[in-house]
Amino acid sequence: MTPSSPFDLLLRALVDVADPERAPGMKAYMRDQFSFLGVSTPDRRKASRELLRGRRQAPDWRFIAACWAAEEREFQYVACDHLSQVPVTWEDLPQLKFLVENKSWWDTVDALVKTIGRAATAADMEEWAQDPNFWVRRVAILHQLGFKADTDPALLSEIILRNTGSKEFFINKAIGWALREYARSNPEWVRTFLLEQEEKLSALSRREAAKHL
């Protein structure tokens, strides 16, 4: 008998806990872009825990690719969970970018931000900040989330200023989010930045950035 692949094991585990009645609401929340099995976040994490626990040495890219190819969105969520739990390096960056560029929406893109922040160099993020794909640019803007006092403010400023003037909601929202988070560690820098760049920043970015100032 051929042993079951990790993806096959995951499929069975998720189907076992799926609630098909939840699926239409989950699909509607994501603007009807993706199909869902109807698995809640707590149930998904519980169902995949043992499988992911055995894969914490490095990214299992074959497993991730199978998850990304699956129709139901929960499989992409498990792939993001897996990546958040393993070491990643600069060599993983091309594959991580592929995930950002494919089946893109805020749910998976934002789930990959901190993983990419662990793998990328400043030069990588400067390049991503100019990418034609706005989801890639969003990751560049947000990649220092959670860095707190280790945030590079010069890099943050450079990436933001490369993306001002955009009419894209997800870019302007990301600018505000990145500034709001950095304000928790360095509120004076953010206040000064908002004053100096007021004319360049969108109203949405300014409003989001100033929420806790």
* CATH number, domain with residue 208: 1.25.10.90
What's the token pair of residue 128? 């991503």
Both 150 and 202 in one domain: the answer is yes
Query: What is the per-residue pLDDT across 78-116, written as a single tens digit (0 to 9) for each?
Result: 999 999 999 999 999 999 999 999 999 999 999 999 999
Q: Which domain holds residue 153?
A: 122-213
Predicted pLDDT of residue 3: 62
Calculate what percentage of the chain has a pLDDT beyond 70: 99
Query: What is the per-residue pLDDT across 181-213, written as a single tens digit (0 to 9) for each?
Result: 999 999 999 999 999 999 999 999 999 999 989
> What is the pLDDT averaged over residues 157-171?
98
Please say which residue of 62, 87, 112 terminates a domain.
87
Q: Using the structure block, give the residue that is written with the tokens 């947000």.
A: 142
Please say which residue of 36, 65, 87 terminates a domain.
87
Both 144 and 202 in one domain: the answer is yes
Both 76 and 132 in one domain: the answer is no
Residue 10 lies in a domain: yes
- Cβ atoms of 52 and 85 closer than 8 Å: yes
Question: Which DSSP category does 91 fall into?
Answer: G
Report how far residue 93's alpha carbon sits from residue 121's, in angstroms, rounded to the nearest whole number.
10
Residue 4 lies in a domain: yes
Predicted pLDDT of residue 4: 87
Both 142 and 191 in one domain: the answer is yes
Query: What is the per-residue pLDDT across 109-158, written as a single tens digit (0 to 9) for each?
Result: 999 999 999 999 999 999 999 999 999 999 999 999 999 999 999 999 99
- Cβ atoms of 29 and 58 closer than 8 Å: no
Please, which pLDDT band fits residue 1 given cuts at 50, 70 and 90?
very low
Report how far residue 61's alpha carbon sits from residue 30's, in angstroms, rounded to the nearest whole number.
25
Total tally of structural domains belonging to the chain? 2
Residue 107 lies in a domain: no
Please say which residue of 87, 109, 138 terminates a domain.
87
Both 133 and 196 in one domain: the answer is yes
Report how far residue 113's alpha carbon sits from residue 9's, in angstroms, rounded to the nearest whole number.
27
